[in-house]
Structure 1
Amino acid sequence: MNDSLLNYARETLEIEIEEAKRLLTRLDDNFLCACSLLLNCTGKAVVSGMGKSGHIGKKIAASLASTGTPAFFVHPAEALHGDLGMIGSNDVLIFISYSGRAKELDTILPLLKENQTRLIAITGGKNSSLAQAADCVLDISVEREACPMGLAPTSSAVNTLMMGDALAMALMRHRGFGAEDFARSHPGGSLGARLLNRVHHLMRTGDRLPVVDSQKNVMDAMLELSRTGLGLVAVCDASLHVVGVFTDGDLRRWLVKGHSLDDPLVSAMSRPGYQLPAQWRAGEALEALHEQHISAAPVVDSEGILVGAINLHDLHQAGIG
């Protein structure tokens, strides 16, 4: 039984992959037309489709919206009962129907034409009423569904999804839509935390900032270590320029060697010590701390003046990492 199940699965994937490969030959003037309509759209991209096409349409709308093309999904049945008013003449409608003959189209297409709404068809029915009415036709036709009865949308569903992804990614790259743009539409997730937060947003300041004057001794630095619990102290000159750091590890090594707590701090500190720029992204700071194999660092401005300190725990608490 297990061998049969694996064979069925392999056959499904082989059929879908073979059909998907045919999409490469469909990237023609119609695809360029669809891109042009969406790039020049002053409204929104509205995606619609029934059944499985509708489910995939929701994903395509979400992909477009999160990669720089404002978009939303409208169900065809709801469109016929009021939601058609959500589609304006400045919008572009992307309608998905494998056959191109969804019954809802009989009512929707004349209204779109009257409203002068531009239409992109994603369909396998190249001679259908949908294709005939569309400004651009993205052909997702298949020779064979992976379903052995040829009934369940399988290969055609994969083609629809891939064509939608191709459209979204082409538009995104043409616009120069980058990681920070993407993060702005995902501010609540870890990606948004990594890319939108800067070190100066998360660093410790004021009384929580561990700092000691370079003229002090090791005892003074040890007391500051204990007071703040960050694991390091920024050692600064009179102008608050960071000249080194003194860590828990530095303290242990100093005492193991038999040195005194009364010794000058400058002889025990790590010089110059790793420092993080305040304007760095939080994600960059996390990667830097890992690369340096350290858990904390002082934060400096563009002139090397101490403005804060941060450790891995601060970054993790902000959802980064």
Structure 2
Amino acid sequence: MPLSDQTVLAQARQCLAIEREALEATARVLDREFVAAVRAVEAAVAAGHKVIFSGVGKNAHIAEKLTGTLNSIGVPSCFLDPTQALHGDLGLCAAGDLAILLSNSGATGEMLRLLPLFEKFGLKTVALTGAPGSELARGADYRLLYSAPREACPLALAPTASTTAALALGDALAMVLLESRGLTREDFARYHPAGTLGMTLLLRVKDIMRTGEACPVLKEAKTTVQAAIFAMTKAKAGAVALVDAKGRLSGIFTDGDLRRSALNGGADFLRKPVGGFMTRGGKTVPADALAVEALKLFQQFKISDLFALDAKGRPTGYIDVQDLPKLKIL
């Protein structure tokens, strides 16, 4: 029997509420066990070893996702199919590796069969489970414990809240490792060189900035407000960079400065030196900086124009905030 629109929405909200409940419960049960598991991963990686995830059913998909997440932050990881492990794939295991075994009940036969085999191969083990008193949890060296009081499935059969909690706990492990390893945006970009994400992370200011005639630069000492307006208009820019005798940036004259000069500069403001109205210094970015650093400046200071400087403080490029969407930086 088809559900009414109202029932569809009510059921969906109920599902989300139950899964949220599992996440909140998991956050409450985090304790020293989680810290110990983090330290175990750190120690294994520091010694040049890898992390091995294993699970069956829905947990296999979660294990594969967490494998990818850890690899993306520079923690060498792989997925081991428990069935194939018993038929030769245990060859990927090496003494010192760390195995993370996923099982909500902690009683999954395949996971329990792997425990003594991993011990024989010299691996430490982590049980990622919702059953702290289970055989898997008791037999593992470390435990990553989550709590899912009930499943969102109306039949209480399909893994829903439990798999959400397991995935979120694995993500929490990964994000803690990311911070503890001091991963930077540049490090992250090295592991994501392709696609939109890779392009965004690898782009530098010098790759996106306007140069040449599109980057208006004038000498402060010889420039009037009128000349600055002409330069901005010709370059189709919202600002002009003013430099000193050595070509170093001394200030920026923007559309906002123009309006203020018109209001406060008197009837002959166009003939007056631009230095009396420009913004001294102004916000700038190194030309070699990552493009995302320019984006952060735009967002932090709510500005529309940004000049890029070389190592000697000379303006070499210009970025208008309107350039960013088409470059897929925003």
- TM-score of the two chains, using structure 1 as the length reference: 0.74
The percentage of aligned residue pairs carrying the same residue is: 39
Residue 58 of structure 1 is matched in structure 2 by: 64
Which of 295, 298, 318 does residue 309 from structure 1 map onto? 318
**1:146-197 C-alpha deviation (Å, 9 max, x unpaired):** 3333321123223322332333334334444455554554455766666654
Matches of residues 1-321 of structure 1 in structure 2 within 5 Å?
1-24=4-27, 26-41=29-44, 42-67=48-73, 69-105=75-111, 108-124=114-130, 130-140=136-146, 142=148, 144-177=150-183, 181-186=187-192, 188=194, 197-206=203-212, 209-213=215-219, 214-215=221-222, 224-225=231-232, 228-245=235-252, 263=271, 266=274, 270-272=278-280, 274-278=282-286, 281-289=290-298, 295-301=304-310, 304-321=313-330
Which amino acid counterpart does residue 235 of structure 1 have in structure 2? L
Which amino acid counterpart does residue 312 of structure 1 have in structure 2? V
Q: How big is the shift at 1:272?
A: 3.6
> Which secondary structure state, in structure 1, belongs to the residue aligned with residue 105 of structure 2?
coil
Unaligned residue ranges in structure 2 (runs of 5+): none
Which amino acid counterpart does residue 310 of structure 1 have in structure 2? I
Which amino acid counterpart does residue 239 of structure 1 have in structure 2? K
> Which secondary structure state, in structure 2, belongs to the residue aligned with residue 72 of structure 1?
strand
- TM-score of the two chains, using structure 2 as the length reference: 0.73
Change (3 A) 1:136 1:314: same
Contact 2:253 2:274 in 1 (8 A): no
Change (3 A) 1:212 1:49: same
Q: How big is the shift at 1:69?
A: 3.3
Q: How big is the shift at 1:309?
A: 2.6
Distance 1:292 1:143 in 2: 45
Q: How big is the shift at 1:52?
A: 0.7
Unaligned residue ranges in structure 1 (runs of 5+): none
Q: How big is the shift at 1:37?
A: 1.4
**1:6-47 C-alpha deviation (Å, 9 max, x unpaired):** 554455445444454443564344333322210101312121
> Which secondary structure state, in structure 1, belongs to the residue aligned with residue 278 of structure 2?
coil
Relative to structure 2, which stretch is displaced further, 308-317 or 124-133? Answer: 124-133
Distance 2:38 2:168 in 1: 15
Provide the alpha-carbon RMSD of the alignment: 4.3
Contact 1:50 1:75 in 2 (8 A): yes
